[in-house]
Structure 1
Amino acid sequence: MDGRRNGRKASRRVGPPTNRRRRTGAAAPKDALVEAVRQSRAATTGSRVVELMARRALVVAARQLLRQHTDRCTKCGSTFVTHEPAFVHCHYCGRMHRVANASLLEQELFEIRMGLRLAS
């Protein structure tokens, strides 16, 4: 046999995958990278790259926010929920629903007062 399995070349690695990176050569110094960016076409023309969100991502983001506090979990339908200043926490499935116009500062103070977060 020539070491092929199902028409593909067999991999040489045996065992569990590792998180080690392969060496690709000497790392470039920071100054050289900064110079390369300065000399790039986008930097010299004054243009910039703007990433636009897809419509689907906007629809999903809109569904994740609640307009008001609810009495039931929107994921599992359980009534075992607690109301926090900015979230509705379901104790059955563990889901945290974000309330759209709620203050995150009030949520942070609530968590500190309830002992859910250490004050720094």
Structure 2
Amino acid sequence: MNSRTKSINELILTAKRDGRSVKYVSDGYHTFDELYYHRMILFSVICHANKDRAWKSWLHDDGTIFNDTFIVGIQTDEGQYTYHYKTEYWDMFQVQEVPRAPKYDGHKPKDITRLLTL
């Protein structure tokens, strides 16, 4: 990580600690808010193209969920991949609704390449 990237990361973390939103922070092309929205649209396309592997739920497998969110996931050949979205986006995902999400398999952001197996 170069010093510019480190400085930007520190500014973002400071803003978050101070309770300020970073959704309007931009790289000069896109804001965080735009990029998260784009990611949601792209994940919905992936889920819709693989409806037999995709699901959504209002609850994690243990019955919990983050405030005002739901979870969407897809089972790949290498394991699951999931995202949480605000409740207002529920209808963006026309996939099977399950009472509780499957048990979390420990996937991390670096496991995004699991989606390449679809």
Specify which structure has the bigger relative contact order, considering alpha-carbon pairs within 8 angstroms and separated by 6 or more residues.
Answer: 2
> Greater strand percent: which structure?
2
TM-score, length basis structure 2 = 0.30
> Greater helix percent: which structure?
2
TM-score, length basis structure 1 = 0.30
Instruction: Indicate the structure (1 or 2) with the bigger Cα radius of gyration.
Output: 1
